[in-house]
Each structure stands twice: as C-alpha cells, then as structure tokens.
Amino acid sequence: MTMKFGVSQSMKRIEDDGLLRGAGHYVSDHAPAHTLHAVVLRSPHAHAKFTITDVATAKAMPGVKLILTAEDTKELGNMPCMGMPPGMQIDVPPYPIIATDTVRHVGDIVAFIVADTVDLAKDASEAIVIDYRPLPHVVDATAALKQGAPQIWGDKAGNLAFDYKLGDEAKTAAAFKTAAKIITLTIHNQRLVTNYLDTRAVVAEYEPEHDRVMLTLGSQGSHRVRDVTAGILKIAPEKLRVVTPDVGGGFGTKLFPFREYPIAALAVQKLKRPVKWVADRTEHFLGDSQGRDNLTTAKLALDDKGKFLAFHVETVADMGAYLNFFGPFIPTGGASMLPGLYDFPTGFVRVYGAYTNTVPVDAYRGAGRPEAAYVIERLVDVAARDLDVAPDALRKKNFIKPKAMPYQTPTGRTYDSGEFAEHMMQAQKVGDWAGFKARLNTSKKAKRMRGIGIATYIEACGSLGPETAKVTLDADGGVTLVVGSQSTGQGHKTAYAQLISEHLGIPLDQVRVHQGDTAMMATGKGTGGSSSIPSAGHSVQGASRKLSDQLKALAADALEAGIGDLEMVDGASAVRVAGTDRSVSFADLAQRAPDKSQLMADDAFVPKAPTFPNGTHLAEVEIDPDTGTTSIVNYVIVDDFGMTLNPLLLEGQVIGGVVQGIGQAMMENTVYDQDSGQLVTATLMDYALPRADDVPDFHFETRHVPCRVNPMGVKGAGEAGTIGSAPAVMNAIVDALWRAHRIRHIDMPATPQRVWAAIEEAKRLHTM
C-alpha cells in the first residue's frame, strides 16, 4: 500500500504556516529577562599593530557591565582549523578569539562590550582609546605570493599557507607532450558573501540548576558548535548547552563556530546574566567567513580526434588572514571534482593557499565543487570553440559511459552511477536546442545578441558523518522525532515526517520534529554537504521501520491477531487487521504498552561513501549591446538525484541554488580596495543580490539513476543548483559574445558594465 503522506509525494511544507504568520522563533527573537546587550569593536585597519591605551573610561560609563579584551581571553584556546587538505598537515597560525596586539583584516575583533542596551554598548566602544600603528597590507592572493609582498605572518615566507598536489604529475606531463591540441584558460572565481536572511547572533545564559552555559545561536548543527566552543573555553562539553531555533539560511557558513560564541560564553560566566549579541548586516560582511575567491589556470590536452588526454590545473586560493574552520579543505577537496563527468586518463592539480589581509574564506554552498565545475565546464566550452566543434558533441565524445561504473577518476573519486549523455540530451530536447538558430535570427533583427550554453556537473556529497534518529510514540498518538541534523530552511520537518509516515501512516501534522538542542540529543553531525536526507534520512527511516514493527507487536496482543495480518491505516494513526474494520489507535497503544521502551526506536547510519548527484543545466540569454544588460530568457534543469523524497521540496532546493549561482555569474562581487584594504562592498547598497526580476521561469525535471552506495538510493540535492548554474549562464553569455564579436572569455560577474566594456573593446580591436 502506498502511503498518501509518504515518500515521493509532493507534500507542501508543514513548517511554513507558522513562519508565514510571523510565528517563527529566531535567535534575535530570544529575549530572556534581564538581558544585557553586546557589541563587538572591530578593527578599522587591514593590518596594524595596536595597543589599547584607555579602557577604564569606557568601563566607567553608565550602563556598562563588562568589557573584554585579549587580556581577558589569553587563557582560552584559539579558533581551530579542522579542514586539513587530504593527506597533509598545515602549520596553522594562531587565530585568537580577540586579537592580541595585531589586527590582520578590517573587522578583526579588538574588544567585546556588554551594557544595559545596545546604544550604551556602542557609546562605550567609541570611548575605548586604541593606538593603531598601520602595517603594509595585501588584499590580492596572487600579489601576496610574490616576492617582497607584505607579510601577514612574519614566519610564513611569501604568505603561502599550503601547497597541495593531487594526481599524477609525470603521467600528465607525458600526455601533454603527445597532445594534438592544448587548450588553456585562466579564470577567476570571485569572492562571495553568504548573505543569509538572519545575520549571526548569540544569546548566552547561565543555567544554575545544571551549572552550565546555554548558547542560543543560529547554526547548521548544535553539537559541532558546542564541542568546539567548549574546547576553546577549556570546559567539558556537558558544561555547555547549545540550542538552535529557526534559522534563515546557513549555506555552509553557519556550519562551524565563530569567535563571538566563546566570547559571549565567557561574558555570561562572569556576569551570570543573559548576554545578547546580534550582528548588523555590515558586521556580517566584516565578521563572517566568505566564499570562493580562486584564480585558476586550466589546461586541456586532446588527441587529433577530440578525445581528452589529460588536464593540468593550478589554482591560487585566497584563504584570508586566518585559516578558518574548514578553510584549507574547500579548494583542495573541491579539486578532486575537477574531472567532472569526463573520461580523463590522467590529470594533475596544484592548489596554492595564500594569506591576505581579508576576511577568512571557508565553505559557501557547494564548498569547492562549484569552483571545480565552473573551471572544467568553461574549459570544455572554450575547447569546443577553439576546435570548431559543437559543445554538446565534444561532451558526448568524452563523457564517462554508464558501463564504466563504478569509475575511478584520476583525482581518486569513485563514481557509482550516472548516465551523463542522457540527461544532457534530455535538457537539450526540453530547451529546444535544435531551434536556437531561428531564435538567434529573431534577436538579430531586434539588434540583440543571443547565446545558448550548457553545463554538466557532478559533485560528491551526502557523507558528512554518522547520524542518529530517535522516534517516539506520544501519549496522544502523535510521534516525536529527535534527530541531530539541523534545518536552515530546507523543509526537514516535512521531509522527515514523510519518511515516518511511510512506515506508520501517520498524518504529517501529527509528527513533531526536534533538532538543534544538545540537551535533547546525545550526538549530531548537523547539516552540511547535502547530507541530511542521505544520512539522517536513512536513520529516520530505520527508526520508523523499527517502531512500526514494535507497534504491530503491541497491536497483535490488543487485536488478538498475528503480526503478519496487521497493517498501518494510512492517515488514521492506527493499526488494523488487514481486510477488516478491526483496529487499535496509536493513542490506545501508547496507554496499553507495558514497557514504554516499546514506544521508542532509534537508528544510526554511517555513510560508507559519498553520493554523486549530477545533471545538466541549459541557459539561453539575450544581451542588449548598447547597455550590456543580459536577460536569461530560458533555463532548463535535468538532474539525477537517485530518487525523490518530495518533488516539491526538491525543486525548491534546486531553484534556490540556481538563483545563487545566477547571482555569482551576473552580479555578486566582493571588492577590497587595494590601497586601503577596506572592504568596499560592505553593505547591500554596494553588494548586489539577485531579485525576482533578475531570474527567469525555470523548467526543472529529473532523470534518476539510483545511487548504489546509499541504501535509499538517494543522492544529496541541497547544493546541486549552485554547482551547475554559474557555468551554464556564463557559457551562454560567452556564446553570445563569441557569435557577435569573437570574445573568447569574460570573468564573473558578467555585469552590464563588464559585458558592455568587452563589446566596446572588441569593436575597437576590430577597427584597428
């Protein structure tokens, strides 16, 4: 029997009613009695020695309760870097929670002020006297690695954070020597700012009954934040409770802890009153880790028939002033996905991590995989153009064939499943690839430029770590799920309720989902790397299956029937004898159970390998050459996620990611001033985000090939839209520019000014 609330049903999100009515509860809504308010004093300099010469005046001001500086935190630990590149260790420089005597980027933390109100805390912050002695700075990664560049860390010659190699360098060099054609492309994957809906915030409270600190904060997993923060504070994890309420987006950035959390915990230890800090939007730009920022030179070797022989890629990855939590792993782990969907006999990658006087760089939706997909998909498009072959034909010739699965890439990834040519051809059919020339002629008549582009992608995800789930039948017949993942807007309550309903037949609104409180669950890996459904979902399914069996055993006694004759009543929260009207309700079973452990079941799942979602994005654009304005007039997505839990949720996740990719391709850009080191784009007045009229109507469909390494057959989906979108849009834009003016490449973001300037330069060169 198919459950009407179960798997593969397009159920609307059950969590949305409260959120739409304003009943959501975010960190900034949390206001315990007698709460004090905090502000962070941040460096106005990109690089400087400093001395605090007067803090006493600020401490004596009305309403000021506490001012913390490095002197107060010197016994605590530093912010850790856990994201080591595969197979290597890095000499990590200290990342103090409050800068000691040197600030290394604009926004570096200098002091933490607590007062009765935010305004009083701000007044006190302005009264602190600091002697800054500016030092030379560098905000560009390639410049930072040049001889004679200003040194961010005196003992780190050349500002080199790490030098990572992957693949077979000798075999790759030999392949390039035999190549009939070598294609080279230098490409910039610009720095981005996450910009979730709710900025980071923390409310620290002291729980005297447990002699512990409670931190209420927005995160992608409370346990990781608790454990790391406890380590910084040098206290046992059980002395710290972390609670995550509603979260308005995380995108990887909220997966790890930040400096304000241990500082707030220290403040509440001293004051024994609640302390609340909420970042404003500019603080978000200056204090949260940022994403991307790679400069890559990629080379492709081909034989005389257009078959790929090898790739060679060198990337300079800007790490910012400090190595953040996962920072080094992002460009190095992402490098393993550079082969894309293509059958490469060999390849070699080298990644140079560089220190600069900028905000640290870490995970941002996709975390290295969008960067890799962008490089290989732009390179393949350029190769097709240089060889004068169709971009789809070159891809088909070089795709990994389904019969080759499982397939090991030259970078050590093992793809378990996929039919790559098929989803590309499906996207082309839906997007009317064959009819493009007619539309191109129509655009020409209107004095517009038109281009069409495709990008295929594959990513590794769904293996963040082991995840547990506990399902309990409540006295009223409802079900409570406690799980260690964390929703940041994905719709977990609906998805998990569907998995439970698949086995219990219970209506979705009778499922209560609890996440985010370390006091309620022993473990949890959180949500990141598109792992919630592939990992936690399997645990929820396993626990639900066990509880179903236990309830049938209880019902067998109540109904005097064999367990094999019983079934769950879909939508009725009851068990009945199949083919009869004899049934017993869940609420009745909850009362009848002689042993309450019969009403609980748990399960744990440890992923053995990543899942590899893949797909094709097709974009078609029209450009006004007089202004450089680009409009996306058609967008098609065909994805392989192995199976679909909820088609409605899936489409929403993918389209949300695509919009973020369009933002990177066409408008988003983080700019530091070379002379001053200031972040120029530090507000939403200066940093452009996509709006509704910047994005097209999307056509989304799937072509699933079940995953062989996940018991549910599912492949992670949360980041896929971000990975396929930027290269598809840029391939379409460059296609239009090439057709009209033989422009081979343009970097992101393809703003109207940048597109117009490229057109004008091409015209100038043509007339010379």
Residue 344 to residue 185: CA distance in whole angstroms: 18
pLDDT at residue 522, rounded to an integer: 86
Give the pLDDT mean for 539-567.
96
- Domain segments of the chain as ranges: 16-24+464-605, 31-135+195-287
What does the H/E/C string look like for 330-341? HHHHHHCCCCCC
% of the chain surpassing 90 pLDDT = 95
Angstrom distances, CA of residue 489 to CA of 19, 416, 485: 10, 29, 12
Encode pLDDT of 179-201 as tens digits: 999 999 999 999 999 999 999 99
Give the pLDDT mean for 129-149.
97
Phi, psi of 350 (to 5 degrees): -130, 130
pLDDT at residue 157, rounded to an integer: 67
Give the pLDDT mean for 395-414.
98
Burial class of residue 639 in the structure, from the number of CB atoms within 10 Å of its CB (0-12 exposed, 13-18 middle, 19+ buried): buried
Please say if the pLDDT value at position 726 is more than 80: yes
Quick one: CA dihedral 106, 111, 114, 119, positive or negative? Answer: negative
DSSP class of 15: T
% of the chain surpassing 70 pLDDT = 99
Give the pLDDT mean for 367-376.
97
Residue 660 to residue 638: CA distance in whole angstroms: 18
- 592 and 554 in contact (C-beta within 8 Å)? yes
Amino acid at 351: V
pLDDT at residue 159, rounded to an integer: 96
DSSP class of 290: B
Nearest Cα neighbor of 223 from 538, 543, 519 is 519
Mean pLDDT for all residues in the chain? 96
- 539 and 467 in contact (C-beta within 8 Å)? yes
Encode pLDDT of 567-615 as tens digits: 999 999 999 999 999 999 999 999 999 999 999 999 999 999 999 999 9
Amino acid at 416: D
Angstrom distances, CA of residue 334 to CA of 86, 167, 351, 459, 628: 11, 13, 10, 9, 32
Phi, psi of 373 (to 5 degrees): -60, -40
Burial class of residue 503 in the structure, from the number of CB atoms within 10 Å of its CB (0-12 exposed, 13-18 middle, 19+ buried): buried
- 158 and 149 in contact (C-beta within 8 Å)? yes
| Residue keyed to tokens 């973001």 | 749
Phi, psi of 67 (to 5 degrees): -130, 125
CA angle centred on 470, ends 468 and 471, rounded to 5°:
145
Q: How far apart are the first and last CA of the chain?
A: 74
Q: Whole-prediction pTM value?
A: 0.96
For 642-732, where are the E strands, in sequence order? 699-702
Find residue 407's DSSP bridge partners. Answer: 415
- Bond before 406 cis per omega within 30 degrees: yes
Nearest Cα neighbor of 290 from 355, 225, 352, 359 is 359
Question: Residue length, the chain?
Answer: 768
Angstrom distances, CA of residue 182 to CA of 168, 308, 374, 380: 18, 10, 19, 11
Encode pLDDT of 643-665 as tens digits: 999 999 999 999 999 999 999 99
Token digits of residue 689:
């985000």
Q: Which residues, other chains included, contact 657 with Cβ-Cβ below 8 Å and sequence gap of 6+?
A: 365, 366, 718, 719, 720, 721, 722, 723, 725
Q: Reading across the β-sheet that carries 160-167, which strands appear in turn? A: 160-167, 346-355, 308-320, 291-302, 181-192
pLDDT at residue 2, rounded to an integer: 54
Encode pLDDT of 315-350 as tens digits: 999 999 999 999 999 999 999 999 999 999 999 999
Nearest Cα neighbor of 259 from 329, 202, 220, 207 is 202
Q: Reading across the β-sheet that carries 64-68, which strands appear in turn? A: 64-68, 109-115, 36-42, 275-278, 201-207, 212-217, 240-243
pLDDT band, very low/low/confident/very high, at 5 (cuts 50, 70, 90): confident
Helix, strand, coil percentages for the chain (3-state, nearest 5): 35, 25, 40
Pairing of the two strands 212-217 and 201-207 = antiparallel
Please say if the pLDDT value at position 251 is more than 70: yes
Asked whether this chain's domains 16-24+464-605 and 31-135+195-287 adopt the same fold, the reply is no
Quote the crossing angle between the two packed helices 222-233 and 260-271, to the nearest 10°. Answer: 60
Nearest Cα neighbor of 181 from 453, 382, 410, 421 is 382
Amino acid at 75: E
Per CATH, the number for 31-135+195-287 is 3.90.1170.50
Q: Reading across the β-sheet that carries 583-585, which strands appear in turn? A: 566-569, 574-577, 583-585
Find residue 620's DSSP bridge partners. Answer: 452, 634
| Element containing residue 372 per DSSP (H, E) | helix 369-387
Domain 16-24+464-605 has CATH 1.10.443.10: no
- 259 and 359 in contact (C-beta within 8 Å)? no
What three-state secondary structure class fits 167? strand
For the chain, how long is the longest CA-to-CA vector?
94
Give the pLDDT mean for 59-87.
96
Residue 338 to residue 343: CA distance in whole angstroms: 12
Find residue 186's DSSP bridge partners. Answer: 297
CA angle centred on 564, ends 562 and 569, rounded to 5°:
100
Q: Reading across the β-sheet that carries 600-605, which strands appear in turn? A: 511-514, 479-483, 467-473, 600-605
Encode pLDDT of 168-177 as tens digits: 999 999 999 9
